[in-house]
Amino acid sequence: MTKQVKHTILIVLFCQFLICLGMSLIFPVMPFIRNEYHFSAFDMGMMSSLFALAQFIASPIVGRVSDKTGRKPMLVWGLVVFALAEFVFAATSKLWLFDLSRVVDGLSAAMFVPTAMALAADITTKEQRAKVIGWLSASFSGGLMLGPGLGGLLAGISYKMPFWVAGVLGLISAVVAVIKLPKDADEKIYDDVHPQRESGSVIADLKKMASPAMTILFIMILVSAFGLAGFESIYSLYVNQVHHFSLAAIAGVLTINGLLSLLLQAFLFDQLVIWVGEMRIIRWGFLLSVIGTIFVIYDHSHWQIFVATLVVYEAFDMLRPAITTLLTKMSEENQGLLNGINMSLTSVGNIVGPLLSGALLDMNYQYPYWVVSVFLMAAFFITLKMHDQPAD
């Protein structure tokens, strides 16, 4: 890995960490927003849905645009758009502007995250890619993990303060990206990896991607996103209602999970890929997530549920970068479009998973996790039919 490649990756990691920190700063203060302006639960749910919907629609489009126009402009504008969205959210008191801000926020996520993944794929070899995608996943998780605590502290000053700070972090990231990231046309980091980006029609590019192996990986992205969102969206409610976990115990589980996730993705993921390969990680990730989920359903020992929960979360934390790494290896062209579809399918899972789990929880407390387990087990059986290294 050349010095310029390392420099570019470090800048992207720094910017992604700041934008994820900014995104998660706002989580603790959303209830205060609801109470201050007397919004309904439906209003707050609509804000979250609009974010995911905008991300779903925009991700393949902006990914395709970045294939044609370059990665740097899309990354910079994604950061600027994020900052503007946070400033609007901080300044307004009107519901329609809150909603508009969340739409713009979803657009910024669609512009930055898949483009960062596409850039990583552009400038790395197949041997380097698992390590870099692990780093990107770790910076993403690290920002999301640290943000809520900092947001809670800032909310002590003003419940709008986290949004102002998030906007400032977005602007700082944009300035750093403008100054430090090399221009696509000037950088030499592509010479030994991808001589140029091809750009045919969208339909032609999609047909190239429609191989059986890649289609199965897209399905796995959808299933893993649905499984994780379905599991974690009701986790606090479930273990509190069924297993009588205290809020302190729930917070402890989630905090330890965040630390483990950061360590695994940053320091262990690329070694696991070298040792066993992406497909075995995916296969075991699906199986372990099923086993852990079933333990959460039926075990009544708090410490065993604690361990089972960590198994589920860490399995998902290995699944997502493994699938992404394998996808980038299966097609060296149009990485923006490829990662845009990845993000779009993830958004679908993030929308459907919580809605279905919430509805099933109202019927029976075991239904949500059984449905999640069935989908994950089906994905595990599909992996048994695939070669360990389909990209080779």
pLDDT per residue as tens digits for the range 325-374: 888 787 666 677 777 888 788 888 878 888 888 888 888 888 989 999 99
The per-residue pLDDT for 87 is 95
pLDDT value, residue 201: 54
Scan for tokens 């944009």, then name that residue: 174
Domain contains 142: yes
Residue 73: count other Cβ atoms within 10 Å of its Cβ. 18
Q: Are residues 21 and 81 in the same domain?
A: yes
Confidence at residue 333, expressed as pLDDT on a 0 to 100 scale = 65
Does position 186 have pLDDT exceeding 60, yes or no? Answer: no
pLDDT on residue 100:
94
Q: Is residue 185 part of a domain?
A: no
Same domain, 30 and 135: yes
Contacts 24+ apart (CB under 8 A), 102-106: 102/47, 102/48, 102/50, 102/51, 102/54, 103/50, 103/51, 103/53, 103/54, 104/54, 105/23, 105/51, 105/54, 106/50, 106/51, 106/52, 106/53, 106/54, 106/55, 106/58
Do residue 236 and residue 90 come from a single domain?
A: no
59-118: per-residue pLDDT in tens? 888 888 888 888 899 999 999 999 999 999 999 889 999 999 989 988 998 899 888 888
Residues 273 and 129 in one domain: no
Closest C-alpha to 270, from 79, 71, 135: 135
Report d(CA 257, CA 337) in Å as an integer: 31
The reply to whether 290 and 160 lie within a common domain is no
Q: What is the pLDDT of residue 231?
A: 87
pLDDT per residue as tens digits for the range 197-256: 455 555 566 666 667 778 888 899 899 988 888 888 788 778 888 888 886 787 778 778
Question: Which of 149, 135, 121 lies closest to 262 in space, CA to CA?
Answer: 135
Q: What is the CATH number of the domain that holds 317?
A: 1.20.1250.20
Mention every residue, 6+ apart, whose C-beta is less than 8 A from residue 228: 316, 320, 349, 353
Question: Do 111 and 256 share a structural domain?
Answer: no
pLDDT tens-place string over residues 8-40: 899 999 888 888 887 777 766 777 787 888 888
Burial of 172 (0-12, 13-18, 19+ CB in 10 A): middle
Same domain, 357 and 279: yes
Residues 87 and 77: their CA atoms lie apart, in Å, by 15
Q: pLDDT band at 189, cuts 50/70/90?
A: very low
Q: Give the pLDDT confidence of 117-176 residue by residue, as tens digits.
A: 888 888 888 888 888 888 888 888 778 777 777 877 887 888 888 889 889 989 999 999
Are 234 and 96 a contacting pair, CB within 8 Å? no
Q: Distance (Å, rounded) from C-alpha 370 to C-alpha 360? A: 10
Angle of helix 126-155 versus helix 3-25 axis, rounded to 10:
30
For residue 387, pLDDT beyond 80: no
Whether 48 shows a pLDDT value over 80: the answer reads: no
In one-letter notation, the amino acid at residue 146 is L
Please indicate, yes or no, if residue 133 is contained in any of the structural domains.
yes
Q: Which amino acid is at 289?
A: S
What is the rounded end-to-end Cα distance, in angstroms, of the chain? Answer: 21
The mean pLDDT value for 3-11 works out to 87
Q: Are residues 323 and 363 in the same domain?
A: yes
In a domain, 215, yes or no: yes
pLDDT for 188 = 46
In a domain, 194, yes or no: no
Let me know whether 209 and 159 are in one domain.
no
**Distance between CA 85 and CA 97 in Å, rounded?**
10
Q: Answer whether residue 320 shows pLDDT above 60.
A: yes
Which domain covers residue 292, as residue numbers? 202-384
Total domains in the fold of the chain: 2
Instruction: Tell me the whole-structure pTM to 2 decimals.
Output: 0.74
Same domain (yes/no): 308, 350:
yes
| Residue at which a domain ends, from 145, 180, 215 | 180
Please give the Cα distance from 162 to 25 (Å, whole number).
6
- Please indicate, yes or no, whether residues 87 and 218 belong to a single structural domain of this protein: no
* Lowest model confidence (mean pLDDT) among 4-8, 41-45, 323-327: 41-45
**Among 2, 73, 89, CA closest to 37:** 89
